[in-house]
């Protein structure tokens, strides 16, 4: 009895000590690190697929700077920003984190990100090595809040088996055209790829739109305020611009008829049975529907390469570039991420060294070889494409627009990103459901959005 | 158990103000109050740290403009003035109310039915355990399970509907169906628990009431209406209040149904609204004010219900 009691007490004491030690470790580690001449930099990212590549970068960095160790923490996208925000609020933020255009204005306006312009000037970082426009996204009022790390673009993904069954030649896919009036050759292909239960395609007069077996096209309606996965790209190809200036504009133009035309074009796809009705579509995501063989084609971002061209894809897919719009060019959104340094970090110099390394060919070539994303440096982008090619994946549809003049556009970066996202997404969904007219719904949303800036 | 009963009986047997009773009572060795406080400390500490303090902070935040990152600035009642004029707030309250009506309505009816069946028909332990199973499954898992089963395109249920020649239904995606679907999914998850609570209440009803009712020629339905329901009233009231408050706190199923894209306005319940304001738009002050208003509304609802159902008085006494 007595020994048990003593053992219990010892255990209790131990666990208490353990808890106390755990509580104190945050501050203690850093102090201990500084005293010993070594520094640990906390680095956050959200993509588990990219974790191995960045771990390799961290190892390479440690080899070059033996005094600095980078500790990477990966948190899924769904929790990433909440965790980051609460850590910032608690003063326990990571020294460096992967940053995104929708969230970063919030951090800039609350003074959480360090201005790296002085470091960039001092170390003469070559900003022209990056894909055009990416570096400027992270500048506000002459201050720089990050170096570009990667980019993504949009392309058409289609089921090659279905294409062959419906006798559409892959060569046709490379030169598709689109306009909001009759949909151009894109709509012809969509119609041909749509098949009803009797095997008739969408161009057949006897096509039964109430019994569709395979939809020719799957739209994305949960696409925020940017429509990156479809309506935004087509609207820009139609001559639309999101707002007065980008980044840091303050007047959005969702009431522009050029955008309404695009939404109406989508609606007629649904009316004709070429695309699923909004209230009868799967909530499991377009990739699930495409993989189940119930859809033939959709727009997909370059971050989905491994989903559609990887070994886990249940159908055979291939990529085609965006269609040529009424203005005479293809348009795809290009979006990039950056690495931000916490304004309150105790290791400014070391954090900068790490960010500089992340933004250099040294790390981006490592990332390129892993062939998961396209690094921001142009030469590294080519390396990534070559790595994909070597693995038998043709990703030229994503890379091509970055090399052609005027085929890419930058997504808007403004304040109130998340609120705008919900307002516009709600409005577009109501329009597609027929609860409100297209022009009217978009006008209301636009007024709400612009009211946020007053 | 037995000794307790004897004690109870002896206590009951003691008439008040009996001089003999005082003589027989042993002198109390010490005051128990200090010990009582000691026993209360763990619970009290938990309450103060995890409820009391955050509540006070919440009240303070609700009076400030606070984005989690910069220091809060005092704005007085501005948040409240803004909220009562915010159509989104009222919309989400309306959506929540709709959900609560569907969820609590179906849950109480089904729960009562199941409890009555368990009480009067079979008292199989295995059956009772089975009823509880859905309640044991974590909410997020329940959500994911039903999202797959009920998917508009790839779901099993719609596959069946189609095979039967009926059209498919976008259970989670159609604005007309989404809220009822979520309500009924949660009814599926919680009915067993509600039924068990009500069943426990029914066990308290003296069996002789049923015997006399049967002697008087009452059928099962009549007994349910005239014996079970009136006798169950205090328990029913408590279960109703507790599940109503729980039901107002619907969040996880909605968050799961929303996925990463944000909930559509048809299912944006009040908790989701508060969550979005606090952690997506970083309007912590505004979110705190909304949360406090919700607490106020729930408080009023609870008092009204308890009053209406006279929950503190039992017809058994």
pLDDT of residue A389: 92
Q: Is B135 on the interface with A (CB under 8 A)?
A: no
- CATH number for the domain including A100? 3.40.190.10
- Do A283 and B282 count as a contact with CB atoms less than 8 A apart? no
B153:A289 CB<8 A: yes
Report the chain B residue with the minimal C-alpha distance to residue A108.
B69
CB contact under 8 A, B281 and A418: yes
**What are the structural domain ranges in chain B?**
1-62, 84-308
Residues of B in contact with A276 (CB under 8 A): 152-153
Residue B19, chain A, CB below 8 Å: the answer is no
| C-alpha span between A408 and A321 (Å, rounded) | 12
Q: Which of A251, A203, A230, A205 shows the shortest CA–CA distance to A299?
A: A230
Judge whether B53 is closer than 8 Å to chain A, CB to CB: no
In this structure, what token pair is assigned to residue A13? 């004491």
Is any Cβ of chain B less than 8 angstroms from the Cβ of A111?
Answer: yes
* Separate counts of helices (H) and strands (E) for chain A: 18, 14
Which of A77, A89, A277 faces B68 most closely, judged by CB atoms?
A89
Cross-chain CB nearest to A279 (options B67, B174, B280)? B174
pLDDT of residue B25: 62
With CA atoms as reference, the chain B residue closest to A420 would be: B281
B259: chain A residues, CB-CB within 8 Å: 222, 283, 285
- Please tell me the predicted confidence (pLDDT) of residue A283: 84
Q: State whether A176 and A308 are in the same domain.
A: yes
- Give the C-alpha separation, A375 to A377, whole Å: 6
- Pair (A292, A379) in one structural domain: no
The answer to whether A284 contacts B148, with C-beta atoms less than 8 Å apart, is yes
Which structure tokens are listed for B231? Answer: 């006798």
Contact status, residue B21 vs residue B14, Cβ threshold 8 Å: yes
Whether residues A163 and A68 share a domain: the answer is no
Would residue A26 count as lying in a domain?
A: no
User: Last residue of some domain: A344, A359, A390?
Assistant: A390
Closest-CA residue in chain B for A76? B260
Residues A182 and A142 in one domain: no
Q: Which of B172, B261, B280 sits opposite A222 (nearest CB)?
A: B261
| A112–chain B nearest CA distance, Å | 8
Q: Which residues of B touch A77 (CB under 8 A)?
A: 260
Interchain CB contact of A451 with B (< 8 Å): no
Contact B233, B156 (CB under 8 A): no
Query: Which residues, at least 6 apart from A331, have a Cβ–Cβ distance to it below 8 Å?
Result: A233, A234, A236, A237, A322, A325, A407, A408, A409
* Tokens encoding A74: 């990966």
- B147: which chain A residues are within 8 Å (Cβ-Cβ)? 283-284
Identify the pLDDT of residue A20: 38
Closest to A158 measured CA to CA, from A300, A267, A268, A330:
A300
A232 and A357 together in one domain? no
In whole angstroms, what is the distance from residue A326 CA to residue A217 CA?
A: 20
Fold exhibited by the domain B84-308: MetI-like fold (1.10.3720)
Residue A4 lies in a domain: no
Please indicate, yes or no, whether residues A259 and A120 belong to a single structural domain of this protein: no
The shortest C-alpha distance from B40 to chain A (Å) reads 21
Same domain, A178 and A282: yes
Q: Which of A110, A277, A419 sits opposite B281 (nearest CB)?
A: A419
Residues B221-241: tens digit of each pLDDT: 899 998 999 999 889 988 998
In chain A, what residues touch B68 (CB-CB under 8 Å)? 85-86, 88-89
- The pLDDT value recorded for residue A242 is 96
pLDDT at site A162: 96
Residues A310 and A225 in one domain: yes
How many angstroms separate the CA of residue A352 from the nearest CA in chain B? 22
B contacts of A416 (beta carbons < 8 Å): 281
The total domain count for chain A is 2
CB-based contact, B89 to chain A, within 8 Å: no
* B262:A425 CB<8 A: yes
Tell if the CB–CB gap between A282 and B153 is shorter than 8 Å.
yes
Residues of chain A contacting B143 with CB distance shorter than 8 Å? none
Q: Are residues A208 and A312 in the same domain?
A: yes
Determine contact: A292 vs chain B, CB below 8 A.
yes
Alpha-carbon distance of B9 to B21, in angstroms, equals 14
Residue in B172, B262, B282 nearest the CB of A283: B172
DSSP collapsed to 3 states, B188-238:
HHHHHHHHHHHHHHHHCCCHHHHHHHHHCCCCHHHHHHHHHHHHHHHHHHH
- What is the domain extent for residue A84? 35-151+336-390
Query: Is A42 found in the same domain as A159?
Result: no
Judged by CB atoms closer than 8 Å, whether chains meet at A433 and B260 is answered as no
A10 in a structural domain: no
A-interface mutation test, from B140, B150, B170, B283, most A Cβ less than 10 A away: B170
Out of B154, B262, B276, name the one closest to residue A284 (CB): B154
Does one domain contain both A99 and A233?
no
What's the start-to-end Cα distance of chain A, in Å? 73
**Range 196-255 of B in CB contact (< 8 A) with A:** none
A132 touches chain B (CB under 8 A): no
Mean per-residue pLDDT pooled into runs of 10, chain B (317 residues): 41 46 60 88 93 93 88 91 93 95 95 90 83 89 91 88 85 90 94 92 91 89 90 89 90 84 84 90 92 92 84 66
B54 touches chain A (CB under 8 A): no
- Cα–Cα dist A129/A57, whole Å: 19
> Between chains, do A276 and B281 touch, taking CB under 8 Å as contact?
no
Q: Does B67 touch chain A (CB under 8 A)?
A: yes
Pick the residue from chain A with its C-alpha nearest to B255.
A78
Name the β-bridge partners of A151: A336, A374
Q: Do B69 and A280 touch (CB under 8 A)?
A: no
Judge if A364 and A447 occupy the same domain.
no
Chain A residues whose CB is inside 8 A of the B151 CB are 282-284
Res A158: pLDDT: 97
In a domain, A397, yes or no: no
Q: Alpha helix locations (H) across A124-225? A: 160-165, 170-173, 184-193
Which chain A residue has its CA at the smallest distance from B172's CA?
A283
Tokens (6 digits) for A27: 């501050």
Residues of chain A with pLDDT under 50: 1-5, 7-36
Residues B69, A89: C-beta atoms closer than 8 Å: yes
Chain A residues within 8 A of B169 when measuring between CB atoms: 280
Measure in Å the smallest separation between the Cα of B277 and chain A Cα atoms. Answer: 9
B64 contact residues in A (CB cutoff 8 A): none
């Amino acid at each position: 009895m007595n020994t048990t009691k003593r053992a219990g007490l010892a255990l209790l004491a131990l666990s208490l000590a353990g808890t106390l030690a755990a509580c104190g470790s945050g501050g203690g580690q850093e102090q201990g690190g500084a005293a010993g001449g070594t520094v640990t930099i906390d680095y956050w990212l959200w993509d588990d697929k990219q974790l191995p590549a960045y771990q390799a970068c961290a190892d390479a960095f440690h080899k070059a700077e033996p005094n600095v160790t980078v500790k990477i923490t990966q948190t899924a996208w769904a929790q990433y920003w909440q965790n980051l925000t609460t850590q910032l609020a608690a003063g326990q933020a990571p020294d460096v984190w992967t940053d995104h255009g929708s969230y970063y204005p919030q951090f800039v306006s609350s003074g959480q990100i360090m201005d790296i312009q002085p470091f960039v000037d001092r170390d003469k970082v070559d900003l022209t090595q990056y894909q055009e426009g990416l570096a400027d996204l992270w500048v506000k009022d002459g201050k720089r809040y990050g170096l570009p790390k990667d980019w993504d673009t949009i392309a058409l993904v289609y089921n090659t088996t279905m294409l062959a069954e419906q006798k559409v030649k892959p060569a046709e896919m490379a030169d598709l055209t689109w306009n909001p009036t009759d949909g151009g050759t894109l709509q012809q292909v969509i119609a041909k790829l749509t098949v009803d239960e009797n095997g008739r395609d969408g161009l057949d007069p006897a096509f039964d739109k109430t019994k569709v077996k395979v939809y020719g096209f799957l739209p994305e309606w949960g696409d925020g305020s940017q429509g990156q996965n479809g309506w935004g790209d087509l609207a820009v190809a139609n001559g639309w611009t999101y707002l007065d200036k980008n980044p840091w504009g303050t007047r959005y133009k969702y009431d522009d008829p050029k955008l309404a035309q695009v939404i109406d074009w989508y609606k007629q796809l649904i009316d004709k049975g070429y695309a699923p009705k909004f209230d009868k579509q799967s909530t499991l995501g377009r990739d699930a529907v495409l993989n189940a063989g119930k859809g033939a084609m959709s727009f997909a971002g370059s971050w989905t390469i491994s989903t559609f061209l990887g070994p886990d894809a249940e159908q055979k897919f291939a990529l085609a570039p965006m269609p040529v719009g009424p203005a005479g060019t293809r348009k795809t959104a290009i979006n990039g991420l950056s690495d931000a340094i916490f304004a309150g970090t105790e290791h400014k110099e070391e954090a900068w060294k790490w960010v500089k390394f992340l933004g250099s060919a040294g790390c981006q070539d490592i990332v390129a070889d892993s062939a998961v994303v396209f690094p921001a440096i142009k030469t590294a982008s080519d390396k990534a494409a070559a790595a994909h090619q070597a693995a038998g994946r043709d990703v030229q549809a994503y890379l091509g627009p970055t090399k052609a003049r005027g085929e890419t556009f930058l997504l808007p970066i403004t304040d109130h990103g998340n609120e705008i996202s919900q307002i516009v997404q709600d409005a577009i969904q109501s329009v597609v459901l027929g609860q409100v007219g297209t022009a009217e719904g978009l006008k209301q949303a636009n007024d709400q959005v612009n009211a946020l800036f007053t | 158990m037995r000794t307790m009963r004897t004690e109870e009986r002896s206590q009951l047997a003691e008439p008040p103000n009996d001089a003999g009773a005082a003589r027989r009572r042993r002198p109390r060795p010490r005051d128990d109050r200090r010990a009582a406080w000691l026993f209360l400390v763990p619970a009290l500490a938990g309450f103060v740290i995890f409820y009391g303090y955050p509540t006070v902070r919440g009240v303070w935040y609700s009076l400030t403009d606070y984005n989690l990152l910069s220091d809060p600035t005092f704005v007085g009642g501005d948040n409240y003035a803004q909220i009562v004029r915010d159509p989104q707030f009222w919309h989400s309250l309306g959506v929540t109310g709709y959900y609560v009506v569907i969820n609590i309505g179906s849950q109480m009816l089904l729960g009562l039915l199941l409890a009555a069946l368990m009480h009067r028909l079979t008292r199989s332990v295995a059956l009772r355990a089975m009823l509880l199973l859905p309640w044991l499954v974590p909410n997020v898992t329940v959500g994911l399970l039903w999202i797959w089963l009920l998917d508009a395109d790839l779901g099993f249920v719609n596959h069946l509907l189609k095979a039967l020649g009926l059209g498919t239904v976008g259970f989670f995606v159609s604005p007309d169906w989404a809220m009822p679907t979520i309500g009924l999914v949660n009814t599926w998850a919680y009915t067993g628990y509600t039924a068990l609570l009500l069943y426990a209440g029914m066990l308290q009803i003296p069996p002789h009431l049923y015997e006399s009712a049967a002697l008087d020629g009452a059928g099962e339905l009549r007994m349910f209406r005239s014996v079970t329901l009136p006798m169950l009233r205090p328990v029913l009231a408590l279960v109703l209040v507790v599940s109503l408050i729980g039901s107002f706190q619907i969040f996880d199923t909605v968050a799961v149904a929303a996925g990463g894209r944000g909930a559509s306005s048809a299912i944006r319940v009040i908790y989701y609204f508060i969550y979005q304001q606090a952690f997506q738009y970083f309007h912590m002050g505004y979110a705190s004010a909304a949360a406090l208003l919700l607490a106020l509304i729930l408080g009023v609802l609870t008092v009204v219900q308890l009053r209406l159902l006279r929950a503190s008085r039992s017809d058994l006494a």
